[in-house]
Structure 1
Amino acid sequence: MRHTTTLLMELGAIILTLGLLGRLAGRIGFCPIPLYLLAGLAFGHGGIRPLSASESFVATGADIGVTLLLLLLGLEYSASELAASLRAHYPSGAVDFVLNALPGALAALLMGRGAVAAVTLAGVTWVSSSGVIAKVLTDLGRLGDPATPVVLGILVIEDLAMAVYLPVLTALLAGLGLTEGGLALLISLVTVGTVFYVAVRHGRLITRAVSCDNPEMLLLVVLGLTLSVAGVAEELHVSAAVGAFLIGIALSGEVAEGAHRLLCPLRDLFAAVFFVFFGLSTDPADIPPVLGPALLLAAVTTVTKIATGWYAARRAGLGAAGRWRAGGALVARGEFSVVIAGLATGVEPRIGPLATAYVLVLVLLGPLTGRWTEPLARRLTAPPADRGDAPPLRGGVLKRRTG
């Protein structure tokens, strides 16, 4: 009974704090994600007042938060749009890998941390945070912006690439032989390919199967299906986020509209919990010793991510404003980088604090670059007489798809 009482009090305090921070961020026109992270640091291990009773619940809520973020992002796009995006953006995905994985690998080698550490840190610096970016795009009202499909194309390629990367990294960290590592990779590829095929080819059947006029039943079926697929994907060493995203793109029409409307409040709650959990899992005392290298690495890969977005948006035929918006939106790193660092902690313990500091810097910076990269670039590149006349950025909101 005592544990239950403490659990309820801690959860109530967390949710109330999130609400107050969200209101504060709204009043000052600031993205609430950095405030959520700082709150997590304050009340995590080594913080002001560590929370013990609610830690496991918050960890589970964080996993649900990432899953819901990707599900609702997937609901914004149809299967045909996803397939077209992959065909259109795979060259940009290759550029993304070269520009953003290489700095992490070189940093590990220059610090004398070996080949396994290089592969690990390459993954940390390569993959943008789908969760953070989805939240930022939503907060800025950019789900209908022309640059958003470009950003989404890069994120999808990165998430799908994790189905190959994570088994390879796991095999390297465990010292598995060629046979065991190849088998794990084959299982991951077959799983992703199967789910993707079903989503693209048979999405209408899935939509018909879950369709229901009763909102309560629709909520339960869609949420249950999503969590089940995400769990199976995770068990098969494929990202749960990939599974949730593919479920989202498989649904269409009124089912997608209804699911989006019903799940939005749950997404907002559990996404906030995810960002708090990331802060809770970090000991503030581990940050100062690696802050210098982390800041340098963050500065380099901020530039390379903006360059990636610029290149991808230019290939898509967008103008300068759309290119800068795409680049700025991609800067944040998050959930995958944390997972990668966590996998390597036992074998490469020195990577953990560096990766944590790096991710914290870019999770804090990402919402700012998402909002201000394009206005700042426009101001710097405009003729002197026009620099004071540029209108403020307004993210356009278009109607969601209906089929």
Structure 2
Amino acid sequence: MELEFAQQFVRPILDKISSTPSSSELIIQDFAVIMIVASIMALISYKLKQPMIMAFIIAGMIIGPNTPPFSLITHVEILHVFAEIGIILLLFVIGMEFPIEKLKNVGKKATFIAVAEASGTFMAGFAVTQAMGFTFFDSLFVSLAISVTSTVIIMKVLEELGMIKDEATYLIVGIAVIEDIIIISLLAVLQSVASTGDLTINEVGMSIILVIAFIVGVIVLGSKIVPRCVDLVGKTNHSELLIIAVLGVAFGLSFIAFKLDISVATGAFFAGVLVAESKMRIATKIIATPIRDMFGALFFISVGALMDIKQLPLFIIPAVILIIVSFSAKFITVWAASRAQRLGKTTSLKTGIGLSSSGGELALVAAKGGADVGATSSFVLPMVGAMTIISTFISPYLIKYGWKLASRLESKGTGSSDTK
């Protein structure tokens, strides 16, 4: 009887345990490792009061194939899939913060400053990277990455300081809106040009026209169709149906952008802009945010996993130099553009400090965009990842103490916001 029991029940279990795991089993195993390590690092980051982005990037570095003694995951390519989904969902939810009416109301001052900041930082970054011996496309994508401002970090710090209603804060939000659109549009153009390898004026011009046509077409035509459809679905009062419908919009526009050789991030962002025009935008954002958080975490983990820490000594000095260039270029251009718009000294100073922070999710999206089309060298993504970690750590302190200094100058009468 015991032998029969062993043959019927125990032996199959032992055989299953000892057998070679299937591909699906390995994927589940990888996913379990990713989530466990990420949750541990997130808890540590929470206890240390550090941004979660840092926790997820470090988690990716721990489990990745480039970290000795061995990789904790077997299917690294699955991270690429998660990363792509993460990019789409991240930009989709960001786009939902900017309905068309809000984009119209950001004002000429914010637009002028955003254009000056983005172009000034990009040109400074390109000049420095070329002087450092970077390839042409490495310089382009790195310059784009350092032109990004982490709006999430800025708003979180200002909220904690109780300065969310400050005059400079409203200006920073408006500038950040325009800057995000500029960066996403430039990424689409750079990826389009890099994928063909053709740098002629005609090719670059066609890429720019294609991106502009896509954005205008989406806003003009999409604003008449998508919000109404979303509202129609929302009337069913089924949250499952609503989330499936809006994700269909996000992935649908991302796919169209991809087929046009435009960044999927561009399609996802403007899908969010269209959904923000509907009456269901608040409900949609609430149910979409948890999905965004999960796949967003997987995106940052994938970036960490692709970082080769053994190369850290090779790019740490260039990374530090570029962080200094980014901080300096942003502060100078924002300060000068703000003063040119007749803003007060204190407001200009606070705005310059607030927008000086570099990095965030869009910087990593820009760096990965170059890697996705094979235009950049292998060190670019890990270098931008290291820059993101460093600048994410520095930025809150820079904003906190910089604004305190500006307030002290104002109280002493040397930097009053009314002083022109």
Matches within 5 A, 1:288-303: 288-303=313-328
**Residue 196 of structure 1 corresponds to which residue in structure 2?**
219
Partner Cα separation in structure 2 for residue 38 and residue 240 of structure 1: 25
1:145-224 alignment to 2 at 5 Å? 146=170, 147-171=172-196, 174-175=197-198, 182-200=205-223, 204-211=227-234, 212-224=236-248
Q: State the TM-score, normalized to the length of structure 2.
A: 0.77
- Aligned residue for 1:287, secondary structure, equals helix
Conserved in 1, the CA contact under 8 Å of 2:30 and 2:74? Answer: yes
Residue 364 of structure 2 is aligned to residue 334 of structure 1 = yes
Partner residue, 2:49:
29
Structure 1 pair 379–94 and aligned structure 2 pair: CA distance change class (3 A): closer
How far apart in 2 are the matches of 1:40 and 1:373?
A: 27
* 2:98 aligned partner, one-letter code: Y
Moved more, 19-28 or 203-212: 203-212
2:151 matched to 1:126? no
Q: How does 1:3-402 map to 2 (within 5 A)?
A: 3-48=23-68, 49-85=70-106, 88-112=109-133, 117-118=135-136, 120-127=138-145, 133=150, 136=153, 146=170, 147-171=172-196, 174-175=197-198, 182-200=205-223, 204-211=227-234, 212-251=236-275, 252=277, 254-310=279-335, 319=347, 323-324=351-352, 326-332=354-360, 333-341=363-371, 343=373, 345=375, 349=377, 352-353=378-379, 355-381=380-406, 383=408
The Cα offsets for residues 233-259 of structure 1, whole Å up to 9 and x where unpaired, read as: 122122222222212222245411111
Tell me, what secondary structure is at the counterpart of 1:334? helix
Instruction: Kindly state the Cα deviation for residue 337 of structure 1 after the two structures are TM-superposed.
Output: 2.1
- Aligned partners of 2:358 and 2:391 also within 8 Å: yes
**Which shows bigger deviation, 33-42 or 213-222?**
33-42
State the structure with more CA Rg.
Answer: 2
Can you give the 5+ residue segments of structure 2 that lack an aligned partner in the other structure? Answer: 1-20, 413-420
SS at match of 1:286: helix
Q: Is the 8 A contact 1:328 1:371 kept in 2?
A: no
Q: Is the 8 A contact 1:86 1:153 kept in 2?
A: no
Matched-pair identity in %: 17
Alpha-carbon separation, structure 1, partners of 2:72 and 2:241 = 35
Shift in CA distance, 81/270, structure 1 to aligned 2, threshold 3 Å: same
Aligned partner letter, 2:322: L
1:325–1:373 Cα contact (<8 Å) kept = yes
Matched residues in 1 for 2:89 and 2:250: separation? 8
Gap change, CA 1:123 and 1:156, over 3 Å in 2? same
Partner SS, residue 208 of structure 1: helix
Question: What does residue 399 of structure 1 align with?
Answer: none
- Structure-1-length-normalised TM-score: 0.80
The farther-off stretch of 288-297 and 311-320 is: 311-320
Paired with 1:203 and 1:370, the residues of 2 have a C-alpha distance of 38
Q: Any unmatched runs of 5+ in structure 1?
A: 388-403
Change (3 A) 1:344 1:106: farther
C-alpha separation between the residues in 1 aligned to 2:108 and 2:230? Answer: 24
Instruction: Check the 8 A contact 2:151/2:176 in 1, yes or no.
Output: no
SS of 2:57's partner is: helix
Deviations 1:350-377 (A, max 9, x none): xx41x23531232113333442222211
Q: Which segment is superposed worse, 7-16 or 41-50?
A: 41-50
User: Shift in Å at residue 62 of structure 1?
Assistant: 1.4
RMSD of the TM alignment (CA)?
A: 3.3
Shift of 1:197: 2.3
C-alpha displacement of 1:328: 4.0
| Structure 1 range deviating more: 142-151 or 219-228 | 142-151
CA 1:55 to 1:136, structure 2 compared with 1: closer, same or farther past 3 Å? farther
Give secondary structure in 2 for the equivalent of 1:109: helix
